Amino acid sequence: MSNSERIVITGVGLTSPNGDTLEAFRRNLLNGVSGITNIETRFMGQVHAGVCHFDETKYQPRRERRRGTRAGAISIYCAHEALNRAKIDVAGVDLSRVGTFIGITEHGTVETENEIDVIRQYDYDTKYWSHHHNPRTVANNPAGEVTMNLGFCGPHYTIGAACAAGNAGLIQGVQMLRLGEVDLAVAGGVSEAIGSFGIFASFASQNALARHEDPIKASRPFDKNRNGIVVSEGGCLYVLERLKDAKRRGATIIAEIIGYAMNSDARDPVQPDPERIAECMKLAVARAGIEPQDVGIVSTHATATETGDELEVRATREVFGDFPGVAINNTKSYIGHAMGAAGALELAGNLGSFEDGVVHPTINVTNLDPKCAMRNLVLNESKQVGRVDHILNNSFGMLGTNSAVVVRRYPV
Amino acid sequence: MNASFKNSTVEQVKKIVLDIIELVAPDADLSSVKSDVRLRDQLDMDSMDFLDIVMELRKRYKVEVPKEDYTQLATLDGCVEYLTPKLQAVAAL
Rounded to an integer, the average pLDDT of A152-164 is: 98
| Confidence label for A165 from pLDDT (cuts 50, 70 and 90) | very high
Shortest distance, CA A124 to any CA of chain B (angstroms): 13
Per residue in B64-85, pLDDT (tens digit) is 999 999 999 999 999 999 999 9
**Residue in B with minimal Cα distance to A134:** B48
Q: Is A62 within 8 Å of B26 when comparing Cβ atoms?
A: yes
What average pLDDT is seen over chain A? 97
Residues of A whose CB is below 8 A from B51: 131
pLDDT beyond 90 at B3: no
**Residue in B with minimal Cα distance to A119:** B59
Catalytic entry in A80, A156, A301, A360: A301
Q: Is A62 within 8 Å of B27 when comparing Cβ atoms?
A: yes
pLDDT at B91: 87
Q: Report the alpha-carbon distance of residue A182 to residue A94 in Å, rounded.
A: 10
Residues of B whose CB is below 8 A from A122: 59
Residues of A whose CB is below 8 A from B55: 128, 130-131
User: Which residues does A31 contact at the CB level (< 8 Å), separation at least 6?
Assistant: none
Question: Is the Cβ–Cβ distance between A135 and A141 less than 8 Å?
Answer: yes
pLDDT beyond 60 at B1: no
Catalytic annotation present for A337: yes
A124 touches chain B (CB under 8 A): no
Shortest distance, CA A128 to any CA of chain B (angstroms): 7
Helix, strand, coil share (%) of chain A residues, nearest 5 = 40, 25, 35
Catalytic annotation present for A301: yes
Residues of B whose CB is below 8 A from A62: 26-27
**Residue in B with minimal Cα distance to A121:** B59
pLDDT beyond 90 at B49: yes
Q: Which residue has the higher pLDDT, B21 or B2?
A: B21
Secondary structure class of A3 (helix, strand, coil): coil
Residue A131 is nearest to which of B26, B51, B59, comparing CB atoms? Answer: B51
pLDDT at A137: 98
Nearest alpha-carbon partner for B69 in B61, B59, B81: B81
| Confidence label for A100 from pLDDT (cuts 50, 70 and 90) | very high
Q: Is B27 within 8 Å of A63 when comparing Cβ atoms?
A: yes
The conformation of residue A15, written as its DSSP 8-state character, comes to E
Residues of B whose CB is below 8 A from A131: 48, 51-52, 55
pLDDT at B7: 79
Q: Is B48 within 8 Å of A131 when comparing Cβ atoms?
A: yes
Q: Report the alpha-carbon distance of residue A314 to residue A319 in Å, rounded.
A: 9
pLDDT at B8: 87
pLDDT at A2: 58
Q: Report the alpha-carbon distance of residue A57 to residue B59 in Å, rounded.
A: 27
Q: Residue A263 forms beta bridges with which residues?
A: A402
Sheet holding A184-191, edge to edge: A156-160, A98-104, A184-191, A234-242, A7-15, A255-264, A401-408, A390-397, A297-300, A327-330
- The neighbour count for residue B9, using CB atoms within 10 Å, is 16
Catalytic entry in A80, A107, A337, A360: A337
Q: How far is CA A184 from the centre of its chain?
A: 20
| Confidence label for A243 from pLDDT (cuts 50, 70 and 90) | very high
Q: Is A128 within 8 Å of B55 when comparing Cβ atoms?
A: yes
Helix, strand, coil share (%) of chain B residues, nearest 5 = 65, 0, 35
Give the ipTM of the model, two decimals please: 0.93
pLDDT at B57: 98
The conformation of residue A374, written as its DSSP 8-state character, comes to -
A387 touches chain B (CB under 8 A): no
Cα dist. A236→A70, A104, A196 in Å?
14, 11, 20
Best residue in B52, B54, B56, B65 to probe A by mutation, most A CBs within 10 Å? B52
Secondary structure class of B5 (helix, strand, coil): helix
pLDDT beyond 80 at B5: no
Rounded to an integer, the average pLDDT of A203-223 is: 98
What average pLDDT is seen over chain B? 93
Residues of B whose CB is below 8 A from A67: 48
pLDDT at A1: 47
Element (H, E) at A394: strand A390-397
Handedness of CA A344, A60, A143, B25 (dihedral sign): positive
Rounded to an integer, the average pLDDT of A129-149 is: 98
Catalytic entry in A163, A236, A280, A372: A163
Q: Report the alpha-carbon distance of residue A112 to residue A121 in Å, rounded.
A: 15
Question: Is the Cβ–Cβ distance between A361 and A378 less than 8 Å?
Answer: yes
Q: Residue A48 forms beta bridges with which residues?
A: A38
* HSE-up of residue A266 (Cα within 13 Å, Cβ side): 5
Rounded to an integer, the average pLDDT of A235-248 is: 98
Chain A neighbours among B 26-45 (CB < 8 Å)? 26-28, 44
pTM here?
A: 0.97
Residues of B whose CB is below 8 A from A132: 48, 52
Best residue in A62, A63, A67, A148 to probe B by mutation, most B CBs within 10 Å? A63
Per residue in A361-395, pLDDT (tens digit) is 999 999 999 999 998 999 999 999 999 999 999 99
Q: Report the alpha-carbon distance of residue A180 to residue A5 in Å, rounded.
A: 10
Q: At what angle do helices B76-89 and B3-24 cross, to 10 degrees?
A: 110
B68 touches chain A (CB under 8 A): no
pLDDT at A365: 98
The rounded radius of gyration (Å) of the Cα atoms in chain B is: 13
pLDDT at A4: 79
